[in-house]
């Protein structure tokens, strides 16, 4: 796929995105919906604005869902029936990959040959489907892992279960087959190369972005009024799925430690937790509330349901500090969104968070998950207005280094390069076949 005029790789006309286990239409912050959903929605809509038709295939989870939904102009979401509509967890889905793949292939079979120019799979389940679609359609497969089983298993949170071997094997297979592996950071690239023996020449780091039009600094007092938070409160916030991997319990324990150190802080402290149970957190959906009660800090806790994108803006603006204490993050979109709103971030020094947060400039990175470590870090910013203002002064500038427009443009270049290489391999194979046939004759 090259431009006849310039000889450069040509941008694709139509892209097939695969998201088997979670739909871009779902609300991030609960179930299996999170940063990957945001990534798919934001990049798809921006590619469509550039004239690229995007079709997203995801598993239908309700009989009420229409077969096709327009997410945005130029972006279609196709619901594929694969297994029962409800009651299937992520770990049950490998058994439904054959049915899902059949649905994807049938859709393409009703179109003219060469309908899709590239397949981009998100998460290993989608990679398995994309691998077969790539071979059937003769187009390149671009794959984004988003999280890696071997990395997660090396840093399990207490009470979390290791990722199953079927996922490890599945990821190994997709890494071998993909024409391009898209990572969020150079660290994720290193993990793929060292843990999965990925070919570094087929791996490209493309940082995610942030919606810079939506996530902006604003009136903290107004945001606090919207959330019914006192204007003079000390506000610590967490936004994300409630599960051991995301470690919201670290924030609660640190808050309890801050109160132990200064009992007078109790009257001013507010801890906002926005999100719903997910993953292994579904087994004990009220465990975080129980921990708050055991720590004696129920009076300072405010549990909010999963927030819309606009609702998150109020959470970020209302906070003095946003905490991202995850045990593993391939990047950490919450950290970037909070900084775009002018709020410093305290994050664990794991995965892509050292890229998302400029340590000592826009926030602080914490080694480990100990109560005292986190209390020290949170207190040194939230309880010291001068330090908070110093960090906040740099957050927006740092966030503006990342945008979904840059991410989408980089993805389109990656698609074009992969397609050009795929076409060249096919030409070479055809020439080799013709030469072999001539020798035989």
316 is in an annotated binding site: yes
Give residue 402's Cα distance to chain centre: 14
Q: Round to whole Å and give the CA distance between 232 and 303.
A: 19
CA-angle at 435, arms to 432 and 439, nearest 5°: 135
150 is in an annotated binding site: no
Picking from 196, 210, 228, the residue whose alpha carbon sits closest to that of residue 337 is 210
Q: Round to whole Å and give the CA distance between 35 and 288.
A: 21
- Per-residue tokens: 289: 């509330």
State the pairing for strand pair 321-324/345-348.
Answer: parallel
307 is in an annotated binding site: yes
246 is in an annotated binding site: yes
89 is in an annotated binding site: no
Picking from 348, 124, 368, the residue whose alpha carbon sits closest to that of residue 238 is 348
Query: How many of the other CB atoms lie within 10 Å of CB of 139?
Result: 27
111 is in an annotated binding site: no
317 is in an annotated binding site: yes
In angstroms, what CA-CA distances link 316 with 353, 355, 375, 390, 404?
A: 17, 19, 19, 17, 19
35 is in an annotated binding site: yes
Are 20 and 126 in contact by the 8 Å Cβ rule? The answer is yes
28 is in an annotated binding site: yes
319 is in an annotated binding site: yes
CA torsion through residues 129, 330, 28, 368, sign: positive
State the pairing for strand pair 118-122/75-80.
Answer: unpaired
Instruction: Look up tokens 């698609």; give the residue.
Output: 415
39 is in an annotated binding site: no
329 is in an annotated binding site: yes
> 3-state DSSP call for residue 246?
coil
**Helices and strands (H, E) in the chain, number of each type:** 15, 14
Half-sphere exposure of 299 (CA within 13 A, CB side): 7
37 is in an annotated binding site: yes
Q: Round to whole Å and give the CA distance between 308 and 418.
A: 35
123 is in an annotated binding site: yes
- Per-residue tokens: 314: 């109020």
427 is in an annotated binding site: no
34 is in an annotated binding site: yes
Annotation: binding site for Mg(2+): 316-317, 319, 343
Annotation: binding site: 21, 27-28, 32-37, 90, 123, 147, 167, 241, 246, 307, 316-317, 319, 329, 337, 343
Annotation: binding site for UDP-N-acetyl-alpha-D-glucosamine: 27-28, 35, 241, 246, 307, 329, 337
Annotation: binding site for 1D-myo-inositol 3-phosphate: 21, 32-37, 90, 123, 147, 167
């Amino acid at each position: 796929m090259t431009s006849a005029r310039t000889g450069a790789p040509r941008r694709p006309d139509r892209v097939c995105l695969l998201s088997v286990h979670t739909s871009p239409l779902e609300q991030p912050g609960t179930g299996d919906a999170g940063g990957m959903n945001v990534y798919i929605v934001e990049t798809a809509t921006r590619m469509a604005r550039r004239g690229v038709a995007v079709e997203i295939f995801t598993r239908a989870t309700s009989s009420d869902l229409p077969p096709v939904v327009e997410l945005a102009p130029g972006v279609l979401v196709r619901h594929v029936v694969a297994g029962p509509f409800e009651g299937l967890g992520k770990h049950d889905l490998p058994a439904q990959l054959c049915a899902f793949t059949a649905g994807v292939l049938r859709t393409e079979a009703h179109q003219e040959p060469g309908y899709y120019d590239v397949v981009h799979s998100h998460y290993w389940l989608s990679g398995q489907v994309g691998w077969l679609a790539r071979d059937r359609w003769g187009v390149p497969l671009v794959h984004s892992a988003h999280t890696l089983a071997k990395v997660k298993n090396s840093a399990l949170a207490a009470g979390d279960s290791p990722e199953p071997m079927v996922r490890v094997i599945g990821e190994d297979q997709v890494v071998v087959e993909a024409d391009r592996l898209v990572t969020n950071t150079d660290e994720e690239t290193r993990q793929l190369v060292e843990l999965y023996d990925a070919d570094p020449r087929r791996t490209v780091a493309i940082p995610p972005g942030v919606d810079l039009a939506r996530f902006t600094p604003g009136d903290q007092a107004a945001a606090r009024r919207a959330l019914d938070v006192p204007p003079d409160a000390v506000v610590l916030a967490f936004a994300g799925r409630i599960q051991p991997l995301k470690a919201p319990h670290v924030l609660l324990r640190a808050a309890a430690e801050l109160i132990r150190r200064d009992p007078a802080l109790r009257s001013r402290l507010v801890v906002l937790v926005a999100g719903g149970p997910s993953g292994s957190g579904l087994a004990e959906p009220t465990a975080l509330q129980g921990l708050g009660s055991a720590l004696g800090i129920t009076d300072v806790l405010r549990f909010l349901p999963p927030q819309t994108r606009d609702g998150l803006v109020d959470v970020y603006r209302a906070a003095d500090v946003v905490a991202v204490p995850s045990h593993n993050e391939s990047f950490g979109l919450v950290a970037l969104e909070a900084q775009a709103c002018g709020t410093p971030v305290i994050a664990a020094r794991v995965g892509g968070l050292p890229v998302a947060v400029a340590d000592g400039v826009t926030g602080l990175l914490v080694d480990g998950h100990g109560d005292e470590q986190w209390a020290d870090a949170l207190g040194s910013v939230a309880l010291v207005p001068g330090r908070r203002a110093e960090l906040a002064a740099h957050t927006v500038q740092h966030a503006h280094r990342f945008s979904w427009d840059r991410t989408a443009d980089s993805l389109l270049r990656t698609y074009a390069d992969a397609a050009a290489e795929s076409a060249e391999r096919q030409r070479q194979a055809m020439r080799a076949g013709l030469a072999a046939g001539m020798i035989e004759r």
